[in-house]
Amino acid sequence: MLLEVKKLSIEFHDHDVPERVVNKLDMELEAGDILGIVGESGSGKSMTAMAIAGLLRRHDMKTEGEILFEGEELLHAKRDTLRQYQGNDISIVFQEPMTSLNPVKRIGWQVEESLRIHRPDMSKDERYRRAIEVLTDVELENPEIVYKKYPHELSGGMRQRVMIASAMICEPKLLIADEPTTALDVTIQLQIVKLLQRLNREKHTAILFISHDLSLVKRLCSKIVVMHNGNMVETGTTEEIFHNPKMDYTKELLRAIPRLEKIVF
C-alpha cells in the first residue's frame, strides 16, 4: 500500500474549546491509483490533505493516528524526514495557483524549485531540460516561452498547469490535488482533469483528488471517500458510491448534482 491513513484525528487548540476537524479517519491509496475525497466545504478535506503533505502547523493543533507512506510514519515524523518527501515523493497542488506562485519570480525558476532541493547534483542545463520536459508534459504550448514568463502573464488554467508541472518535476509517487479546478471555468476544469488522468496513466502517479464536485470525481477516481464534519461517512468504489450509495448523506450529495451534468457525465 502506498498510503495508509489510520485513525487520523486533527484538533485545533487555538481557542478555549478544542475543535476537532478530522475524526478518526481511515483511508488507503494503492500505488498508481486515484482516490477521491468528496464532501461539502468545511468537512476536513484540506486538513487531511495538509496532514498527508506534512504541512500542518504543529504549534496550535493536536494530531492523533498514523499516516504511513510506503510503511513509514509521517504524521509525527521529524521535519527533516518530512522534507525528504515533500516535493519529491509527495507533492501537493492547491486550488488557487496565484497564491502558491511567487509573483516576482519567473515560471522556470519556480518549476525547478524541487529539483534544487532534491536533486542538488543536477547542473543548471539539466534542470532547464527537465523543466521544459515537464512543462511540455502538462501540455503548455511554447514551454521555452512560458519558462521565462511571470505568473501574472499567464491565464488561470496555464498557472494551474504550471503548478502541476512543479509538483511533477521530481516524479512523485503521490500527487495530492486539493480542489485544483475549483477556481477555473468549466471547460478548463475538464482539461485539467483529463491532464491528471493522462499523467496518472503515463507516469503511474497515484492521485488523491479532493473536490466538492462529484461529477469531476466520478470521471477521474476509482475509489471515493465521502467526508462530512470531519468524519468519513462512506467509502467505496466510484461505481458503488454512485450507483449504490448506502448513507443518506451520500444520497443527498448525489441528488445535489445538477441534472444536466448527470447527463453529460
Ligand X SMILES: Nc1ncnc2c1ncn2[C@@H]1O[C@H](COP(=O)(O)OP(=O)(O)O)[C@@H](O)[C@H]1O
Q: Which residues bind ligand X (CB under 6 A)?
A: 12, 14, 19, 21, 39, 41-47
Give the Cα separation of 263 and 265 in Å (integer).
6
Q: Which is nearer to ligand X, 197 or 229 (CB)?
A: 229
Contact partner, 12, from Mg ion, ligand X, none, Cβ < 5-8 Å per class: ligand X
Contact partner, 39, from ligand X, Mg ion, none, Cβ < 5-8 Å per class: ligand X
Which residue reads 493536536 in cell numbers? 62
Give the Cα separation of 135 and 168 in Å (integer).
10
Residues written for the chain: 265
Contact partner, 143, from Mg ion, ligand X, none, Cβ < 5-8 Å per class: none
Give the Cα separation of 178 and 188 in Å (integer).
16
- Number of helices (H) and strands (E) in the chain: give both, helices first: 13, 10
User: Which residue number places its CB atom closest to Mg ion?
Assistant: 46
- Closest approach, Cβ 39 to ligand X, in A, equals 6
Contact 189, 160 (CB under 8 A): no
- Closest approach, Cβ 140 to ligand X, in A, equals 28
Contact partner, 18, from ligand X, Mg ion, none, Cβ < 5-8 Å per class: none
Q: Coil, helix or strand for 131?
A: helix
Q: Coil, helix or strand for 62?
A: strand
Q: Which is nearer to Mg ion, 1 or 256 (CB)?
A: 256
Q: Which is nearer to Mg ion, 91 or 211 (CB)?
A: 211
Contact 23, 63 (CB under 8 A): no
Does residue 46 interact with Mg ion by CB under 5 A?
A: yes
Contact partner, 123, from ligand X, Mg ion, none, Cβ < 5-8 Å per class: none
Sheet with strand 90-93: strands edge to edge: 90-93, 174-178, 206-211, 34-38, 223-228, 231-237
Contact partner, 47, from ligand X, Mg ion, none, Cβ < 5-8 Å per class: ligand X
Give the Cα separation of 35 and 200 in Å (integer).
12
- Closest approach, Cβ 47 to Mg ion, in A, equals 8
Does residue 48 interact with Mg ion by CB under 5 A?
A: no
Does residue 110 interact with Mg ion by CB under 5 A?
A: no
Does residue 205 interact with Mg ion by CB under 5 A?
A: no
Contact 96, 171 (CB under 8 A): no
Of 40-48, 77-85, 191-199, 244-252, which segment contacts Mg ion by CB under 5 A? Answer: 40-48
Q: Coil, helix or strand for 76?
A: coil
- Closest approach, Cβ 178 to ligand X, in A, equals 7
Q: Site residues (CB under 5 A) for Mg ion?
A: 45-46
